[in-house]
């Protein structure tokens, strides 16, 4: 049997906007998602907006009980900034009461909450001022973080600042999957830099708060895989690693923005506006741990017809379609478990073996109800096989000395996925949107219960 370390965290992750519902109720103000859906509902799968999502606001006690039933000992979700501070300044007491009751329910059931502060849900009042493009957002986020630590610091010991900050940068300012649908690499770099400084400001507030616990950040980073060892392909890999992996990981862990990244941006007229004290703040506000979300590898090749200076990332590196890849036929993403071992070695060898965990891994499946058996349960053996393959590689990394302390799946129950709505399902429990959000455990949930009970699983020969 593959056994994992004692006290290993077995759990799942989600976020406030994707599960809570009540998006414009109970004192919460609008986010970019609420407004974008109001303006352009046709962009969202099946007109599924952020209003109700999985109704966790009303059903959190049932959800926590279900988490316990399948053996979760930890769970990450986020606080909604627009719910806690609807205008950015004044506290919404109803939100405080809701989150305190939700977090206490987890603690009462032996589930460690890991609480994240930002998961793509920019308050509209700040978006109207320019969002992350406006340096004012850094101080606003610092105030929000300080407020969260004050209100929940007696309950929560594990905090994270951002989930996948590169996603709102590239989806909002390069590829039009998030509001404000801008395509401008210079502005994208500024958004990324201000996000980094907002993260730093939150860590600084945490250190000054005096509360017990640890703080980290959730990143979707891994070493890129180049098409070949030719110089041009390796240069493309280098650019991809600097932009997609080291841009946040190096400052968060090593306390410094890589000089090579600064030079790359300088060569392409992409340097962001900075302030005098920023480097010092970055240096003295590194994190205690890292969460890494991993779904599929990043494969790159040299750009075929690049513009100089670069106008898009594809002028520095292009995606490479590996002909031998294994594909998840229900989602279209490559399946490559070996990357978890490579990530484990990257963290061990390049980042001082800082504590880290797999904060998301998972398998999205479209039209998953077709796999429902006669009892009404979804037979997702494909998801169980996916988890086993990834855990085997993670175990290799731990045996090789990497300091990994947990594994979280995306997600515990099917949740709303931005423009994709409920098209792709990921959960251990299904959610029936036509039957009062009824939760039904899937086969993978029952298997996960055995995994957590044994703290490992038998390898098939």
Q: What is the mean pLDDT of residues 20-34?
A: 97
Beta bridge partners of residue 335, listed in sequence order: 326
Of 461, 451, 320, the C-alpha closest to 387 is 451
Helix H or strand E encompassing 334: strand 334-335
Q: Which residues pair with 439 in a beta bridge?
A: 431
Q: What pLDDT does residue 415 have?
A: 97
pLDDT tens column, 73-112 = 999 999 999 999 999 999 999 999 999 999 999 999 999 9
Q: Is residue 461 part of a domain?
A: no
460 falls within a domain:
no
- Note the pLDDT of residue 429: 98
How far is residue 147's CA from residue 211's CA, in Å, rounded to a whole number? 12
Q: Is 360 a catalytic residue?
A: yes
Residue entry with tokens 């929000």: 144
pLDDT score of 27 more than 80: yes
Q: Which residue has the tokens 């240069």?
A: 235
Domain harbouring 151, CATH code: 3.20.20.80
Neighbouring residues of 158: CB distance < 8 A, sequence distance ≥ 6: 112, 113, 114, 115, 213, 214, 216
pLDDT score of 317 more than 80: yes
pLDDT-based confidence at residue 330 (cuts at 50, 70, 90): confident
Q: What average pLDDT score do residues 35-40 get?
A: 98
* Contact by Cβ (8 Å): 398, 4: yes
Q: Across the chain, what does the average pLDDT equal?
A: 97
Does residue 359 form part of some domain? Answer: yes
Instruction: Indicate if the pLDDT at residue 461 is higher than 80.
Output: no
Q: What is the pLDDT of residues 227-269, one digit of tens each?
A: 999 999 999 999 999 999 999 999 999 999 999 999 999 999 9
Number of structural domains the chain divides into: 1
Q: Is it the case that residue 332 has pLDDT exceeding 90?
A: no
Percent helix, percent strand, percent coil in the chain, to nearest 5: 45, 15, 40
- Under a CB-based contact definition with an 8 Å cutoff, are residues 33 and 15 in contact? no
Mean pLDDT for the stretch of residues 371-381: 95
Catalytic residue among 20, 133, 164, 318: 164
Which residues are paired to 430 by β-bridges?
440
Write out pLDDT tens, residues 150-172. 999 999 999 999 999 999 999 99
Measured between alpha carbons, how far is 275 from 302 in angstroms, rounded to an integer? 34
Query: Given this model, what pLDDT does residue 459 score?
Result: 86
Q: Where are the alpha helices (DSSP H) in 226-258?
A: 231-240, 247-249
State how far the alpha carbon of 169 is from the alpha carbons of 88, 120, 164, 421, 457, in Å: 22, 10, 9, 20, 38
d(CA 204, CA 284): 8
* Residue 201 CB contacts under 8 Å (≥ 6 apart), including other chains: 138, 139, 141, 142, 145, 281
Pairing of strands 318-319, 299-301: antiparallel
Q: How confident is the model at residue 291 (pLDDT cuts 50, 70, 90)?
A: very high
- pTM, to two decimals: 0.97
Question: Do the Cβ atoms of 439 and 450 come closer than 8 Å?
Answer: no
Q: Considering the candidates 133, 158, 318, 360, report the single residue annotated as catalytic.
A: 360
Annotated catalytic residue 326: no
Task: Say whether pLDDT at 460 is over 90.
Answer: no
Residue 180 in any domain: the answer is yes
Domain that holds residue 195: 2-455
DSSP string across 41-65 = GGGSGGG--TTTTT-HHHHHHHHHH
| pLDDT tens, residue by residue, 392-435 | 999 999 999 999 999 999 999 999 999 999 999 999 999 999 99
Residue 152 resides in a domain? yes
* 426 within some domain: yes
Buried (b) or exposed (e) across 307-324, using 16+ Cβ within 10 A? eeebbebbbbbbebeeee
């Amino acid at each position: 049997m593959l056994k994992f370390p004692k006290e290993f965290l077995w759990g799942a992750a989600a976020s406030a906007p994707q599960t809570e519902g009540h998006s414009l109720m109970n004192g919460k103000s609008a986010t970019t998602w609420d407004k974008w859906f109001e303006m352009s509902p046709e962009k969202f799968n099946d007109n599924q907006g952020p209003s109700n999502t999985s109704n966790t606001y009303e059903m959190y006690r049932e959800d926590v009980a279900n988490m316990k039933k399948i053996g979760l000992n930890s769970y990450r979700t986020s606080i909604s900034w627009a719910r806690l501070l609807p205008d950015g300044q004044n506290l919404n007491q109803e939100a405080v009461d809701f989150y305190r009751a939700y977090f206490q329910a987890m603690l009462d059931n032996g589930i460690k909450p890991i609480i994240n502060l930002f998961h793509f849900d920019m308050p509209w009042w700040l978006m109207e001022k320019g969002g992350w493009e406006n340096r004012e957002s850094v101080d606003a986020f610092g105030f929000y973080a300080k407020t969260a630590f004050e209100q929940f610091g007696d309950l929560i010991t594990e905090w994270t600042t951002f989930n996948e900050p590169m996603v709102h940068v590239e989806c909002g300012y390069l590829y039009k999957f998030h509001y404000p649908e801008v395509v401008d690499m210079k502005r994208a770099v500024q958004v990324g830099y201000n996000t980094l400084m907002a993260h730093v400001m939150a860590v600084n507030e945490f250190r000054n708060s005096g509360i017990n616990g640890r703080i980290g950040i959730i990143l979707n980073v891994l070493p890129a895989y180049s098409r070949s060892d030719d110089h041009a392909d390796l240069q493309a890999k280098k650019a991809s690693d600097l932009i997609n992996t080291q841009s946040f990981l190096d400052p968060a862990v090593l306390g410094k923005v890589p000089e090579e990244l600064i030079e790359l941006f300088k060569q392409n007229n992409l340097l962001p506006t900075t302030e005098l004290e920023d480097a010092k703040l970055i240096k003295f506000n590194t994190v205690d741990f890292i969460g890494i979300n991993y779904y599929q590898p990043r494969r790159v090749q040299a750009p075929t017809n690049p513009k100089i200076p670069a106008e898009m990332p594809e002028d520095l590196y292009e995606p490479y379609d590996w002909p031998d890849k294994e594909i998840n036929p229900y989602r279209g993403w490559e399946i490559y478990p070996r990357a978890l071992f490579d990530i484990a070695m990257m963290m061990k060898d390049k980042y001082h073996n800082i504590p880290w965990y797999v904060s998301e891994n998972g398998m999205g499946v479209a039209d998953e109800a077709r796999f429902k058996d006669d009892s009404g349960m979804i037979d997702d053996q494909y998801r169980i096989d996916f988890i086993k393959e990834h855990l085997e590689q993670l175990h290799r990394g731990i045996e090789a000395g990497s300091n990994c302390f947990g594994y979280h799946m995306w997600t515990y129950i099917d949740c709303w996925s931005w423009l994709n709505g409920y098209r792709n399902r990921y959960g251990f429990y299904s959610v029936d949107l036509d039957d009062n959000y009824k939760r039904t455990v899937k086969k993978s949930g029952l298997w996960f219960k055995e995994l957590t009970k044994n703290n490992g699983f038998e390898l098939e020969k």
